[in-house]
Amino acid sequence: MTKNEGKEYYKKYYQDHSLERKKAQRIWYKTLNGRTIHLLKGARNRAKYKKLEFNLTKGFIKEKLLKDVCEYSGIKLNFKASKNPRTPSLDRRNNKLGYTKRNTFLVAWGINSAKEAWNKKEWQDLKKIIKLCKY
């Protein structure tokens, strides 16, 4: 088999099995290992694109996922769901700094989105409200 024939074979294989691959990816994504690698790769790619420092490890993220709690709000995370307010997300406390172990926190995606969308005063008010609530 020539190099070109090999490329064509794999291209056809991936096209013919795309539904099975997507299903397997969705199942894998819901596992602890899958979510860990997804978060790690996403952070690494963003750091590279923005030319930021990066020193996170698979073990660091997995340890945080095992705690299963948003580090900002204390609410229980749901890493088996996608596009859910409780889905785990990585947040940098100081966005001028990179994805480092001291600057990166595991938070609920909904909280992270609110932090990004709201100004500093609104975010501080939300943090006070969250601290008053018990989950």
Q: At what angle do helices 18-29 and 32-50 cross, to 10 degrees?
A: 90
Token code pair at residue 24: 């397997």
Residue 101 lies in a domain: yes
Using one digit for the tens of pLDDT, what is the confidence trace for 72-98? 888 899 877 777 889 999 999 898 999
Domain that holds residue 97: 31-132
| Per-residue pLDDT, 9 | 77
Q: Which amino acid is at 30?
A: K
- Spatial contact of 78 and 69, defined as CB atoms under 8 Å apart: no
- Spatial contact of 107 and 114, defined as CB atoms under 8 Å apart: no
- Counting the structural domains of the chain, the total is 1
pTM value is: 0.77
Residue 66 lies in a domain: yes
Residue 5 lies in a domain: no
Q: In whole angstroms, what is the distance from residue 25 CA to residue 30 CA?
A: 9
CA 126-127-132 angle, to 5 degrees, is 95
Q: How confident is the model at residue 4 (pLDDT cuts 50, 70, 90)?
A: confident
| Per-residue pLDDT, 67 | 94
Residue 126 lies in a domain: yes
> What would the DSSP string read from start to end of 82-97?
SS-TTSEEEEESSTTS
Examine the pLDDT at 134 and tell me if it is beyond 80.
no
Q: In whole angstroms, what is the distance from residue 27 CA to residue 58 CA?
A: 19
Residue 122 lies in a domain: yes
Residue 41's domain is classified under what CATH number? 3.30.40.220
Furthest C-alpha separation in the chain: 66
